[in-house]
Structure 1
Amino acid sequence: MAGAYFRERQAVFGEEHATRQALLSALLGGEQATEAAARAGIRLAPAYAVLGMEIGRHADECRRTVNPTVAARRKLRRLRGELERNIADPVLSALHPGGGIALVPFACSIDEPTEQDWHRLRALTGSAERAAGAEITAGVVFAAPGEVAAAAQTAREVLEVAVASGRQPGLYRLDDVALEFQLSQPGPARAKLAALLDPLGETPELLTTLRTYFHSGLSRRRAAKQLHLHPNTVDYRLRKIAARTGLDTTVAADLPRIRAALAALQAISRSGSR
């Protein structure tokens, strides 16, 4: 009797999963999703927070005594469970151990999500991260159902830019990485900005120090700790950078140009051309 009940439950779960995945595919494919939603027994939300996610590794995935495939599967199960636990309506997702896409339903205006909406989404991502036991970095775009396909592409690009520019795990909007995002597009301005750092080309440790200094929030002590150097060595290198490039990290007016130059150089290194 118990076996029959279990098989029935598995069959119901399998059908529910299939219809939800069909709805997700329709939304991500830019198709009309009303019928797919009806088959899944789901009411389309007025808006979705579309998350392009990168999921870090759980400690168990690196332990020799644990099967990494099993550990990764458990991580994803905990993450999905936490998303479902905190949201009344179904969260549609296509996740693998390294990341993926999730659509979080919201009853907000897609044009002006409130600070409360953002706070709720950040709290949800944080609780999912803790449940998974792994760091999560995500690009997020709010979109109406018919705009989910384009939003998913933008969310992935925001994620890619955030990761490439050395941002810490967390939730990122296009506004948060606007400069780096714009400089990811080729053009003469990008090439000129990257060229500002050409004098450092033969001394890679100087470029690494500059990047680390900016990723550390302009803190020489944090940069020194990450680089395993004395803070005075970081100061010396920053002075050397200023002498070679004319860009001084102690001059407030130079900081936006340095940040833009770093972003342009990073974008060029990803694309392979100026």
Structure 2
Amino acid sequence: MIAENQARTGTCRRASKDYREPVRPYRRDVWTRTIVDHVSARAPELRNSLAVDPHREITLVVKICLDWSISRLQGTLTIEDIDRLQAVLASWAGDGIGIDTVLHGVHEGFRAGMDLMFAQRRSTTSDEVRAVTGAVLELLRVVTATVGKSYVREYRALAIEHQVGVHTLTSALLRGRPTSTMATTFGALVAERYHVLAVSMPSHPDEENPDLNGQVVARRKLRRVQAALALHTRAAPLSLLSVDGGTILVPCAAGDTDTLTDELVEKLSTAAQVPLRVATVVADAADVPVAVGHAHELLDTADQLGRAPGVYRFEELALQYQLTRPGEARDRLAGQLAVLDDHPELLETLRAHIGTGLRRQATAKLLHLHPNTVDYRLRRVGELTGLDPSSSTGLWYLRSAMIARAGTSCEPR
């Protein structure tokens, strides 16, 4: 690419004879020292960030760039130096030096280098100005791109390493086998207690858009949620998530309230751009595997009952949870509504009446019926099931039967 640019632009051919003559070693050394001193003085944050040998590392980068510029002007350009530069920059990224710090140092180095190149001549022609400026701008482009690529590659590698570590630690917690050694290795701490969140993440509307790639939209939704989760600075959550949901473990702290979990779920819903349905329980680290099972069963209960998105806790759905547990009692209770299978309008009316809080007028409005029709259908429910919706006992059994029926309807056949 560099050689092609050189051949295409012909910049080197426009350079004067003086620029194409070899630069003596002593002059290169003087220029190198001058640029290094300038960068060290004008970009102290870079110098202070290099923990091993700042002077040597800055000198190495300056020599690479200076040699590139001189070779570029003299028509003897090779790309090996850029490979060396990329290796140095990758190590800086790995050491945690900010890319803005590096780029500031690069720009200060170019400023000093330009001054030196023009100062070597008492007068310069327009061709010489174009030659030097073209070489410097091309080098700046190459170096800036190299910095960006080096940092992206290094951060991507670090992110993958961190992701693997977090995944391993989370999996160990879910299996009940976390170790302090594992946590230390991955730079995390195993908390004494966790908020265990079972998460249901619905599809984003754009996933069904025929003009868009639904899988890409879903992955972007997941990445937004993971990014929002990473910004939860109060405690570092662990998670195993897919585009449909999953499990999140949030370390408990003294003084935690339900509000904190609600706020986190609200932030994640905002990031996903769809409302999440979440069930949460609290458990000791050793009990996380059992708690995860309970949380997801509680989430299934909320799903089966058609509950709205939001956060659900065990005490809110304890009765519903118990009624949907597999067993003969649940099956018998759910079976009391079997006689309504041939009368779907009666089952719909009963469900709507319970959903409106037993308000006759509201039920009629919801179903677009006359209130007398609602009364008739509820009487028919009582006649067929033997459970009178107008009595407290009959209504209690009917509501329980509907909950139990929701539990059986979602089981695999």
Question: Aligned partner of 1:144: which letter?
Answer: D
Mapping of residues 26-175 of structure 1, within 5 Å: 26-108=172-254, 117-175=257-315
Question: Aligned partner of 1:117: which letter?
Answer: T
Deviates more, 1:137-146 or 1:176-185: 176-185
Instruction: Tell me if the contact between 1:206 and 1:241 (Cα under 8 Å) persists in the aligned partners.
Output: yes
CA distance in 2, matches of 1:204, 1:35: 59
Matched, 1:211 2:357: no
Instruction: Tell me if the contact between 1:26 and 1:36 (Cα under 8 Å) persists in the aligned partners.
Output: no
Deviates more, 1:174-183 or 1:98-107: 174-183
Q: What TM-score comes out, normalization by structure 1 length?
A: 0.86
Cα pair distance change 1:191/1:4, threshold 3 Å: closer
2:331 is aligned, of 191, 199, 204, to 191
CA distance in 2, matches of 1:223, 1:166: 18
- Structure 1 residue 246, shift from structure 2 partner: 3.8
Instruction: Tell me if the contact between 1:166 and 1:215 (Cα under 8 Å) persists in the aligned partners.
Output: no
2:405 is aligned, of 252, 265, 269, to 265
CA distance in 1, matches of 2:362, 2:183: 49
- Structure 1 residue 43, shift from structure 2 partner: 1.7
Cα pair distance change 1:223/1:118, threshold 3 Å: farther
Q: Deviations over 1:172-193 (max 9, x none)?
A: 1222222232223333432332
Deviates more, 1:194-203 or 1:128-137: 194-203
CA distance in 1, matches of 2:370, 2:171: 51
- Structure 1 residue 65, shift from structure 2 partner: 2.1
> Residue in 1 aligned with 2:91?
none
Instruction: Tell me if the contact between 1:239 and 1:248 (Cα under 8 Å) persists in the aligned partners.
Output: yes
- Structure 1 residue 2, shift from structure 2 partner: 1.9
Question: Aligned partner of 1:230: which letter?
Answer: L
> Higher helix fraction: Structure 1 or Structure 2?
2
Instruction: Tell me if the contact between 2:169 and 2:178 (Cα under 8 Å) persists in the aligned partners.
Output: no
> Residue in 1 aligned with 2:368?
229
User: Alignment partner of 1:240: what SS?
Assistant: helix
How many residues get paired? Answer: 266
- The structure number with the bigger radius of gyration is 2
Instruction: Tell me if the contact between 1:220 and 1:231 (Cα under 8 Å) persists in the aligned partners.
Output: no
CA distance in 1, matches of 2:363, 2:267: 29
> Residue in 2 aligned with 1:111?
none
CA distance in 1, matches of 2:152, 2:234: 25
CA distance in 1, matches of 2:361, 2:267: 30
Structure with higher RCO (Cα < 8 A, 6+ apart):
1
CA distance in 2, matches of 1:67, 1:241: 47
Q: What TM-score comes out, normalization by structure 2 length?
A: 0.59
User: What runs of 5+ residues in structure 1 fail to find an aligned partner?
Assistant: 109-113
CA distance in 1, matches of 2:364, 2:216: 38
- Structure 1 residue 217, shift from structure 2 partner: 4.4
Question: Aligned partner of 1:167: which letter?
Answer: R
Q: Deviations over 1:42-96 (max 9, x none)?
A: 1222321111111111121121222111111121122222233234222111111
- Structure 1 residue 28, shift from structure 2 partner: 0.7
Matched, 1:255 2:401: no
Cα pair distance change 1:213/1:82, threshold 3 Å: farther
Q: Supply the RMSD in Å over aligned alpha carbons.
A: 2.4
CA distance in 1, matches of 2:350, 2:219: 38
Q: Deviations over 1:74-126 (max 9, x none)?
A: 21122222233234222111111111111122214xxxxx7x62121112112
User: Alignment partner of 1:86: what SS?
Assistant: coil
Cα pair distance change 1:159/1:225, threshold 3 Å: farther
Question: Aligned partner of 2:325: which letter?
Answer: Q
Cα pair distance change 1:188/1:9, threshold 3 Å: closer
> Residue in 1 aligned with 2:149?
3
User: What runs of 5+ residues in structure 2 fail to find an aligned partner?
Assistant: 1-146
- Structure 1 residue 135, shift from structure 2 partner: 2.1
- Structure 1 residue 272, shift from structure 2 partner: 6.8
Question: Aligned partner of 1:177: which letter?
Answer: L
- Structure 1 residue 18, shift from structure 2 partner: 0.9
Instruction: Tell me if the contact between 2:180 and 2:190 (Cα under 8 Å) persists in the aligned partners.
Output: yes
Instruction: Tell me if the contact between 1:167 and 1:215 (Cα under 8 Å) persists in the aligned partners.
Output: no
> Residue in 2 aligned with 1:177?
317
User: Alignment partner of 2:291: what SS?
Assistant: helix
- Structure 1 residue 166, shift from structure 2 partner: 1.7
Question: Aligned partner of 2:369: which letter?
Answer: H
